[in-house]
C-alpha cells in the first residue's frame, strides 16, 4: 500500500503540471484582465470541481468495480475538449463581432460568473482517469488508506495547479501585452481551441 501512496503522490505531481488543467484559466484571465488573486480563486474553484469528479469516480470504483470506469471513460474524452473548443470559438467570434465593445460592470460580473461555471463544468467532465487504477488497487485495503490517498491527490493537484498558474501569470507580466491587446480575443480563442484539441488526443 505504501507503493500505491507513493505512486499516487507522483502521479498527482505530474498531473498538476499538465497545461490543459490551468492554461485555459490563465488565458481567459489575461484576456479579461483579472488580477492574480482572481485567477487563483477561479483556479481553485475549477480545480476543486476537477478533483471532486475524480474522487467521485475513484470511490465509485472502490464500491462498484471496473465496469463503471469503462462506461464513464467512453464519454469523458469528448466532453471537456468540446467545451474548451466552443469557448475558444466564442472568444474569436466576440473579437471580430465586438472588437471595441465595453461591457458594463453588471454585465461583466454576470459574464464572469458564467465563465467560472463553464470552466468548472469543463474541469468536472475531465477527471484524472489515470489515478483511478490506484483506487481499484486500494479497494482491497483498509479504507483509511484510500482516504489518505484521496487527500494526497486533492491537496497536491489543487496546490500544484495554483502554483503553476501563479508562476505563469507573473512570467507573462514581463511581456508587452498592450501591443497584442487588439488581438487578445484571437490569441485566447486559439489557445483554448488548441488546448481542447490536445486534450482530445492526449488524455
180 vs 134, more confident: 134
Closest by Cα among 73, 91, 103 to 31? 91
List, for residues 153-174, the tens digit of each pLDDT value. Answer: 999 999 999 998 888 888 765 5
Domain ranges of the chain: 2-201
DSSP 114-154: HHHHHHHHHHHTS--GGGHHHHHHHTTS-HHHHHHHHHHHH
pLDDT band at 30 (very low <50, low <70, confident <90, very high): confident
Residue 152, pLDDT > 70, answer: yes
What's the whole-number average pLDDT of the chain? 76
Residues 126 and 123: their CA atoms lie apart, in Å, by 5
pLDDT, residue 80, reads: 60
pLDDT, residue 90, reads: 81
List, for residues 94-135, the tens digit of each pLDDT value. Answer: 777 654 433 333 334 457 788 888 888 888 888 877 777 778
Residues 48 and 42: their CA atoms lie apart, in Å, by 10
Neighbours of 164 (CB within 10 A): 19
Q: Is 101 helix (H, G, I), strand (E, B) or coil?
A: coil
Residues 25 and 175: their CA atoms lie apart, in Å, by 18
57 vs 129, more confident: 57
pLDDT, residue 40, reads: 94
Residue 60 near residue 73, CB atoms below 8 Å: no
Closest by Cα among 151, 161, 90, 93 to 126? 161
pLDDT band at 20 (very low <50, low <70, confident <90, very high): low
Q: Which residues of 29-64 are buried (b: 16+ CB within 10 A; e: fewer)?
A: bbbbebeeeebbebbbbbbbbbbebbbebbbebbee
pLDDT, residue 123, reads: 87
Amino acid at each position: 500500500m505504501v507503493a500505491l501512496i507513493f505512486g499516487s503522490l507522483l502521479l498527482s505531481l505530474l498531473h498538476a503540471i499538465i497545461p490543459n488543467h490551468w492554461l485555459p484559466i490563465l488565458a481567459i484571465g489575461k484576456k479579461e484582465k483579472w488580477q492574480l488573486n482572481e485567477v487563483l480563486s477561479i483556479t481553485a474553484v475549477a480545480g476543486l470541481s476537477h478533483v471532486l469528479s475524480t474522487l467521485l469516480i475513484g470511490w465509485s470504483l472502490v464500491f462498484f468495480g471496473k465496469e463503471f470506469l469503462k462506461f464513464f471513460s467512453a464519454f469523458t474524452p469528448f466532453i471537456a475538449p468540446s467545451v474548451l473548443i466552443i469557448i475558444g470559438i466564442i472568444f474569436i467570434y466576440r473579437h471580430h463581432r465586438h472588437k471595441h465593445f465595453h461591457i458594463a460592470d453588471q454585465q461583466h460580473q454576470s459574464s464572469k460568473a458564467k465563465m467560472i461555471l463553464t470552466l468548472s463544468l469543463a474541469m468536472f467532465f475531465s477527471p484524472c482517469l489515470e489515478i483511478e487504477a490506484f483506487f481499484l488497487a486500494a479497494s482491497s485495503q483498509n479504507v483509511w488508506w484510500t482516504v489518505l490517498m484521496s487527500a494526497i491527490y486533492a491537496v497536491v493537484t489543487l496546490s500544484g495547479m495554483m502554483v503553476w498558474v501563479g508562476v505563469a501569470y507573473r512570467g507573462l507580466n514581463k511581456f508587452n501585452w498592450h501591443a497584442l491587446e487588439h488581438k487578445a480575443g484571437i490569441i485566447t480563442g486559439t489557445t483554448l481551441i488548441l488546448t481542447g484539441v490536445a486534450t482530445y488526443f492526449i488524455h
